[in-house]
């Protein structure tokens, strides 16, 4: 009967799925399964534990109700490849969250364009004086210099045009992201090879939904710094902790 809660706890406390974005969808799934068990009839009807199931459901609603409207929690799940399709959200919340995602992607794109502009201006300023417009104009075409300004104006994008392009691209990126099949591997391909989506995932999923992983880390430290190794140096202790914490990568490691 308590299987939905047990599965949810195992998932949230595990080391492989300890991302903030797993919290809300896991809670929603547990509540949905508990509600189905309570309302079940016939052979699947609860006879002796229905009150216990109701108490569990009420406890989940009371404890996590405030997080269901928390913007950080919602965005953490929305930028997680496994929950990006937002099927666990109501239609009304889905529309608002989608707009917020587009705004965040647009802000990242705008920052990227601004950084590129700064770089290009520096490159132009540092160019060799020997490549100036005066040296490129030949005496054969007296109108060449006259039309230089027109070419420059035509090629220079306006702020409005640039903003419109950013908005269109942000909508496309978010729509592609939401329409892509979910994945739990968290590889570059799962983020459509877009650095913007990877950055947003890291930004909102750095917190952990449970302290269990941190507690295991302290337990590992106690296993390493035993009484017989009390004189272990600080640097070596950090190295051993790093190796112990990343032992799941040992088999995939390839020396250059």
**E strand or H helix that includes residue 39:** helix 23-39
Neighbours of 235 (CB within 10 A): 8
State the pLDDT at residue 70: 92
DSSP secondary structure code for residue 231 in this structure = T
Output the tens digit of pLDDT for each of the chain's 256 residues: 568 888 888 888 877 778 899 999 999 999 999 998 888 888 778 888 888 889 999 999 998 888 888 999 999 999 999 999 998 888 889 999 999 999 999 999 999 888 877 665 544 444 444 444 443 444 565 555 544 554 444 445 555 666 788 999 999 999 999 999 988 888 889 999 999 999 999 999 988 877 766 777 778 788 888 888 888 888 988 888 888 877 777 776 566 5
Burial class of residue 221, CB neighbours in 10 A (0-12, 13-18, 19+): middle
DSSP, collapsed to helix, strand or coil, labels residue 194 as: coil
User: With the C-alpha atoms ordered 74, 77, 78, 83, is the resulting torsion angle positive or negative?
Assistant: negative
Q: Which residues of 23-61 are buried (b: 16+ CB within 10 A; e: fewer)?
A: bbbbbbebbebbeebbeeeeeeebeeeeeebeebbeebe
Q: Compute the distance between CA of residue 159 and CA of residue 183 in angstroms, rounded to an integer.
A: 37
């Amino acid at each position: 009967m308590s299987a939905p809660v047990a599965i949810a706890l195992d998932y949230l406390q595990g080391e492989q799925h300890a991302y903030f974005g797993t919290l809300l969808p896991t809670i929603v799934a547990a509540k949905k399964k508990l509600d189905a068990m309570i309302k079940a009839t016939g052979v699947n009807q609860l006879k002796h534990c229905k009150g216990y199931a109701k108490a569990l459901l009420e406890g989940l609603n009371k404890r996590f109700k405030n997080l269901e409207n928390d913007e950080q929690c919602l965005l953490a799940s929305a930028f997680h490849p496994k929950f990006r399709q937002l099927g666990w959200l109501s239609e009304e919340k889905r529309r608002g969250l989608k707009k917020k995602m587009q705004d965040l992607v647009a802000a990242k794109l705008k920052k990227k364009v601004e950084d590129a502009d700064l770089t290009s201006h520096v490159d132009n300023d540092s160019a060799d004086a020997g490549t100036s417009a005066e040296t490129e104009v030949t005496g054969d075409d007296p109108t060449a210099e006259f039309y230089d300004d027109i070419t420059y104006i035509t090629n220079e994008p306006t702020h409005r045009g640039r903003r419109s392009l950013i908005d269109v691209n942000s909508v496309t990126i978010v729509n592609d992201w939401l329409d892509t099949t979910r994945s739990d591997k968290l590889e570059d391909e799962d983020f459509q090879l877009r650095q913007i989506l990877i950055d947003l995932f890291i930004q909102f999923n750095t917190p952990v939904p449970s302290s269990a992983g941190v507690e295991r880390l302290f337990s590992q430290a106690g296993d390493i710094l035993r009484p017989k190794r009390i004189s272990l140096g600080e640097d070596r202790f950090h190295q051993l902790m790093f190796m112990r914490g990343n032992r799941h990568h040992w088999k995939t490691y390839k020396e250059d």
